Structure 1
Amino acid sequence: MTDPTPDPSMMSAAAIAAAFREGRLGARTVVAATLERIGRVDPAVNAFTDVLAERALARAHTLDAARARGEPLGPLAGVPFAAKNLVDIAGLPTRAGAKINRERAPAERDGAVVRRMEAAGAILVGALNMGEYAYDFTGENIHDGPTRNPHDLGHMAGGSSGGSGAAVGAGLVPIALGSDTNGSIRVPAAFCGCFGLKPTYGRLTRAGSFPFVGSLDHLGPLARSVADLALAYDAMQGLDPDDPVAAEGPPEPVLPRLEDGIEGYRIAVAGGYFARGGDPEAFEAVERVARGLGCTRRVEIAEAARARAAAYLITAAEGAALHLDRLRTRAADFDPAVRDRLIAGAMIPAPWIDRAQRFRRWYRTAFLDLFGEVDAILAPTAPCRAPKGGQTHFVLDGVTLPVRANVGVFTQPISFIGLPVVAVPVRVDAGLPLGVQVIAAPWREEVALRIARRLERDGIVDATPAVL
């Protein structure tokens, strides 16, 4: 009697790739199971805006045939993945969550990160829901409907990469691609209980993706394991002449040394600004991670509140500049919550932006001085668990605040200067997941990934998908 075929939807990307290489799973079997689960589960979650069944099955057939011929197989061969719908996908308009964009001509080729994932053997199965033009922390799109939290469908998935977080958290795909300008990978990772990587600014190419804020945008993966995160990250690295801010120099693969020890790493918890203004459970999640790492050190990040304010100004102004023509001619076709903030951004006085940019340079220098003393810093990802669907306000430290504008209170001061972060999912009780940021110095993604892997190995963090 043969062992029953494992359910690929419950397998990690690394396990799927190994089973495919060893002939224990066929790529068509994996894709068929993935499509079946998407068809059964996604109507409730609403993570996908486009399911590319024909393309995925054709790609799987090609991979099965290549394996049968004994051809070399990539490290992600047979692994299904999906991409936030601001990344170009050949044959589809790049909608970026917007009504206006679906009138665009279909993309002629895939975005660079999709091409690199497929070059490593992965199989694209669809495009994912997102907040309009990525200006969102809720995952609630008025054109495509809200993406729901797979751990409790009555709650938000987070944004703007809500479809990416929910697709991974619901077990629809083991890896999803998202973007992060002010927290849009890290917040959905926290709310949906998965891992997310916001790399160093410029580390991964953004060519073939719809922008939001050019000086703050990052692309990166979300996954159910740290090894899967590293597999996707390694696959997407490399200089790209089509991306004006891509990092120079050769790729630096992380996966081969992911299990290296973290002994000797100097790890600290961010205090001050990062230890107030959130629910107690958010800070308990940080303390749980710190205890697991034996971390007792605390550091203060100077002027973090000002950094968040400056990031807010730059986001609003750059976002508005990108959309001015659309605002003039198609204002009624925007999500009103996005439109109104963009209009406000267009009216920010230029001297304010100049001051924000000058402060940004100072803040980067001051923050980087900390990395002469420590190798990684721990901070909350979001100030609370996922709010309820449709919730517009929450109470933090006794103050009532708008949800959409304040979920990124702890992520914005970090992406403001492009630092690499691994968001790790934490359960402090039976409630919804929480998240912790593992922040490293520029170009030191491997530090954050190794710390995350140690936490995962020791059972301190967990990305078990929701049962749906």
Structure 2
Amino acid sequence: MSLQRDPDARGDWLSASQTAQAVANRKLSALDAVEATLKRIAAHDGVLNAFTDVVAERARQRARTIDAALARGDNVGPLAGVPFAVKNLYDITGLPTRAGSKINRDRPPAARDATLITRLEAAGAVLIGALNMGEYAYDFTGENIHDGPSRNPHDPTRMTGGSSGGSGSAVGGGLVPLALGSDTNGSIRVPASFCGVFGLKPTYGRLSRAGSFPFVASLDHLGPFARSVADMALAYDSMQGPDAGDAACSRRDVEPVGSLLAQDIGDLRIARAGGYFEANLFDEAREAVSRVCQALGVTRTVELPEVARARAAAYVISTTEGASLHLDRLRQRPSDFDPAVRDRLLAGAMIPAPLIDRAQKFRRWYRARVLELFNDVDIIIAPATPCIAPELGQQTFVLDGVELPVRAHVGIHTQPISFIGLPVVAAPVALQPMPIGVQIIAAPWREDLALRVAAALERAGVAVAPRPKGF
């Protein structure tokens, strides 16, 4: 890579891998990479509204420390100088962790960074700021009534998806090469699909959630967004490892995946999800899944059992656990909630205990049945969203002749997967006029297989994060 001939030589639109290589080789300073990022945010975030906080001076100081270390000949890590940002439910030292809410702004500033921020910075990355999100992560649209909606870089009149909408927008719009989000029912995969980027929801318990504001403890996952599979794997590898600060975080050994991406996938048994996952789709979602399956030579279809019931049970568990977490806030400050979030949490507080017990029992049954499928297949392909990004403010869409609420239905294909903690890569397919994502689903702890398939699709030009016009 010749930075002298590269029009983005100051760090604009470089991938995380390119930036790290250039900084490590001292062809680009970490400070220049940070300044280029801050310049892009100043130029474009007025349209995208992806950021809620920019920690410019912290980032500059961190970059200077990296440049000084490199000048001494020190190794600063595989993400040397790479700017990144996080959904504002991650603790950032000195900032209140707002979790997309009005109420949380009154909390004391965080005393320390979330574990995943600490791990990325230990690998050489530079935190730039915090990103817009749906209130308390209970959102699929990216429309926050307190901070305004995050906007889609491919068409700012359209949604980013949620609840990690600012993360999808910031990466899709090239403001940062890496961002972190959270996924309870689809909040990484839906924004990745709408914004045309890669997103990883790892196995439940794989990455530490310590230092993040919860939504549903039994369903919450944290993970990265990136514009390439290599960048996503680089971030993922840097964040792995057990953490006593998160009771769910696996004690399994770290399993790096970056070196595996180039492996041939001809030995993998790949199937397409049928039944429920072939219904409830707009044409663009069908086309994206078809392109991916054709490129992979997929001829087999598998059907997950009782998927509609799984989605219903996910709703019950989400809203009841969420309501339990927020009961005091609902009692003391009900008018400070987004009414749509408040009303769903109130409804969850009134669900009878026997129904919750039934949902949990079904969850155990459903997980066992789905895991049986992985005795015969390694990867399952499914749509990430039923449609491309709807317009901002759009309340309903008509699907198969039925008018459905947008907020509740853009996650119809993601909820039944996160419900049982499976690892998934959301891979973008660059259709016109908007991209849309496809889920690459693997068995627990097999992120390596999902990422290998995503990398093969990327090499084939089928899964690509397109650069938006004007960015």
**TM, length-normalised to structure 1:** 0.99
Which amino acid counterpart does residue 437 of structure 1 have in structure 2?
Q
| Alpha carbons 1:195, 1:424 under 8 Å: kept | yes
What is the aligned partner in structure 2 of residue 105 from structure 1?
108
State the partner residue of 2:433. 431
* Cα shift at 1:2: 4.9
Say if 1:268 and 1:374, in contact at 8 Å, map to a contact too.
yes
2:216 is equivalent to residue 229 of structure 1: no
| 1:375 paired to 2:378 | yes
Distance 2:317 2:467 in 1: 36
Residues 285-305 of structure 1, C-alpha deviations (whole Å, 9 max, x = no match): 101000001111111111011
The one-character-per-residue Cα deviations of 1:346-402 (angstroms, maximum 9, x if unpaired) are 001110110010000100010000000100000000010100001111111111111
Whether contact under 8 Å (2:430, 2:466) holds in the other structure is no
Name the aligned partner's letter for residue 438 of structure 2.
Answer: V
Which residue of 2 is the match for residue 78 of structure 1? 81
Write the distance in 2 (CA, Å) between the matches of 1:121 and 1:194: 23
In 2: Cα distance, 1:162 partner to 1:277 partner: 23
Gaps of 5+ in 2: none
> Structure 2 CA distance, aligned partners of 1:71 and 1:378?
43
Q: Deviations 1:259-304 (Å, cap 9, x if unpaired)?
A: 1111110000000000001212101110100000111111111101
Partner of 1:347: 350
Q: Does 1:360 align with 2:340?
A: no
Q: 1:36-47 counterparts in 2 under 5 A?
A: 36-47=39-50
Contact 1:131-1:140 within 8 A present in 2 as well: yes
Q: What pairs with 1:12-411 in structure 2 (closer than 5 Å)?
A: 12-411=15-414
Contact 1:9 1:174 in 2 (8 A): no
Distance across 2 between alignment mates of 1:285 and 1:351:
40
Q: In structure 2, what is the Cα distance between the partners aligned to 1:322 and 1:236?
A: 27
The residue identity in structure 2 corresponding to 1:448 is A
Q: Distance in 1 between matches of 2:377 and 2:289?
A: 17
Does the CA-based 8 Å contact 1:31-1:57 persist in structure 2?
yes
| Contact 2:86/2:130, CA 8 A, preserved across alignment | yes
**1:463 match:** 465
Distance 1:60 1:176 in 2: 18
Quote the offset at 1:7 in angstroms: 4.4
Could you list the per-position Cα deviations for residues 33-83 of structure 1 after superposition, in whole angstroms to 9, with x for gaps in the alignment?
Answer: 000000000000000000111000110000000000001120001100000
CA-to-aligned-CA distance 1:396-437 (integer Å, 9 cap, x gap): 111111111111100000000000000000123x21111100
CA contact (8 A) 1:259 1:450 kept: yes
- Aligned partner of 1:453 in structure 2 is 455
Name the stretch that deviates more: 254-263 or 381-390. 254-263
Gapped regions of structure 1 (runs ≥ 5):
none
Decide whether the 8 Å contact of 1:239 with 1:247 is kept in 2: yes
Contact 1:83 1:178 in 2 (8 A): yes
Give the whole-Å Cα distance in 1 for the aligned partners of 2:50 and 2:415. 24
State the AA in 2 paired with 1:123.
V
Instruction: Write the deviation string for residues 141-165 of structure 1: whole angstroms up to 9, x where unpaired.
Output: 0000000100000000000000000
Counterpart residue type for residue 440 of structure 1? A
Q: Is the 8 A contact 2:87 2:181 kept in 1?
A: yes
Distance of 2:116 and 2:400 partners within structure 1 = 40
> Whole-Å Cα distance in 1 between the matches of residues 438 and 374 of structure 2?
19
> Counterparts of 1:444 and 1:378 in 2: how far apart (Å)?
15
**Structure 1 residues 437, 322: CA separation in 2 closer, same or farther (over 3 Å shift)?**
same
Runs in 1 of length 4+ with deviation above 4 angstroms? none
- Distance in 2, matches of 1:304 and 1:332, equals 36
Deviations 1:172-216 (A, max 9, x none): 000000000000000000000000000000000000000000000
2: CA distance between counterparts of 1:404 and 1:172? 26
CA distance in 1, matches of 2:188, 2:10: 27
1:413 aligns with 2:416: yes
Question: How far apart in 2 are the matches of 1:296 and 1:93?
Answer: 50
**Amino acid paired to 1:34:** T
User: What's the TM-score, normalizing by structure 2?
Assistant: 0.98
The alignment yields a C-alpha RMSD, in angstroms, of 1.0
Q: What letter is aligned with 1:301? A: L
Aligned to 2:12, what secondary structure does the other structure show? helix
Deviates more, 1:454-463 or 1:256-265: 256-265
Count of matched residue positions in the alignment of Structure 1 and Structure 2: 467
Q: Deviations along 1:116-156, whole A, 9 cap, x unmatched?
A: 00000000000000000000000000000000100000000
State how far apart, in whole Å, the 2-side matches of 1:465 and 1:74 are.
Answer: 28
1:464 Cα deviation after fit: 2.5
Following the alignment from structure 1 to structure 2, what is the Cα–Cα distance between the partners of residues 60 and 69? 14
Q: Answer whether contact 2:19 2:82 (CA < 8 A) is retained.
A: yes
